[in-house]
Amino acid sequence: MRGPDRQTGFTLIEILIAIAVFVVMAAMAYGGLSSVISTRETVTAALDRSKTLQMSVWRMRNDIEQIVNRPIRDSFGDNQPAIFGSPDIGLQFTRNGWRNPLGDIRSNLQRVAYRIDEDNNLVRAHWRVLDQAQDSVPVESVLLEDVSNVEWRFLDSDREWQDRWPENSTIGASATSVQTPAGTIASSYAPPLAIELRVTTSAWGDLRLLFMLAGAER
């Protein structure tokens, strides 16, 4: 006759080995999951930065390529050229094509400025009116963050690059205006043929953007 089957269990060593194997596999799985999550976050952040850059470039191109020769009166009552810019004050201009989906009673022209703020951001500002009053306040939005350098250049009718526009202008009474020689008319300053922007950011390094002006004389 066969004797009763002997039931055997796991020894303590076998249990410890099984636990150790489980711990190792769990750690590997967690490490893999953590790596996937970290990679996903990195890719998402890179895509967000790329989207921000693309939107900023599109915004600037849409603005600058629609510059028109419409001088304005600033909040001090002084006439300002349709476009002016320099290393000190950034870039300011009048553009066409301001969309009006709600049908508000206003012009389709818009005054726009680009400057670096105190937090080293490249900021876009626009005014709700062209000829400003003393209480006119611009609407601002940040385009690029952590900007360490910005250079604007202007291509004149002789195909020469200038670092300010109009060429013979100086900084005005405020930090956001210019003065032109006495006797000149603001409307006599035609826009440049093209505008170049060189900007350095922590995310993208050195960037060079070239904008051709549709209304400029060729």
Q: Domain containing 149 — which CATH number?
A: 3.10.610.10
Domain assignment present for residue 129? The answer is yes
Lowest mean pLDDT among 59-63, 113-117, 161-165, 172-176: 172-176
* Residue 178 located in a structural domain: yes
Cβ-based neighbours of 93, under 8 Å, separated by 6 or more: 63, 64, 67, 82, 83, 84, 85, 111, 112, 113, 191
Residue of higher predicted confidence among 114 and 186: 114
Degrees (nearest 5) of the Cα angle 200, 204, 205? 45
- Specify which residues 124 forms β-bridges with: 114, 141
pLDDT single digits (tens) 17-48: 777 777 777 777 776 766 766 777 776 777 78
What pLDDT score does 217 carry?
Answer: 53
Q: What is the pLDDT of residues 119-151, one digit of tens each?
A: 999 999 999 889 888 888 999 999 999 999 999
Q: Are 202 and 146 in contact (CB under 8 A)?
A: yes
User: Which residue in 197, 205, 214, 112 sits closest to 161, CA to CA?
Assistant: 197
Percent of the chain with pLDDT over 90: 43
- Is the residue at 8 inside a domain? no
Residue-range definition of the domain harbouring residue 147 = 60-212
Asked if residue 104 has pLDDT above 80, the reply is: no
From residue 109, give the alpha-carbon distance in Å to each of 92, 105, 150, 192, 204: 13, 12, 26, 19, 32
Mean pLDDT of 165-193: 65
Per-residue pLDDT, averaged over 9-14, amounts to 66
Residue 134, classed as helix, strand or coil, is coil
Report the distance separating Cα 175 and Cα 87, nearest Å.
Answer: 11
Query: Please, which residues bridge with residue 208 across strands?
Result: 198
Establish if 29 belongs to a structural domain.
Answer: no
pLDDT (0 to 100) of residue 19? 73
Does some domain include residue 197?
yes
50 within some domain: no
Mean pLDDT of 63-73: 92
What confidence score (pLDDT) does residue 173 get? 46
Peptide bond before residue 166 is cis, with ω within 30 degrees of 0:
yes
Q: Considering its fold, how many domains does the chain have in total?
A: 1
**Per-residue pLDDT averaged across 149-164, rounded?**
93
Identify the three-state secondary structure at position 22. helix
Q: With respect to residue 159, please indicate whether it lies within any of the assigned structural domains.
A: yes
Predicted confidence (pLDDT) at residue 183 exceeds the cutoff of 50: no
Q: Which residues are within 8 A (CB) of 79 and not within 5 positions of it... i.e. 6 or more apart?
A: 71, 72, 73, 186
Tokens of 89: 């004050």
Q: 40 in a domain, yes or no?
A: no
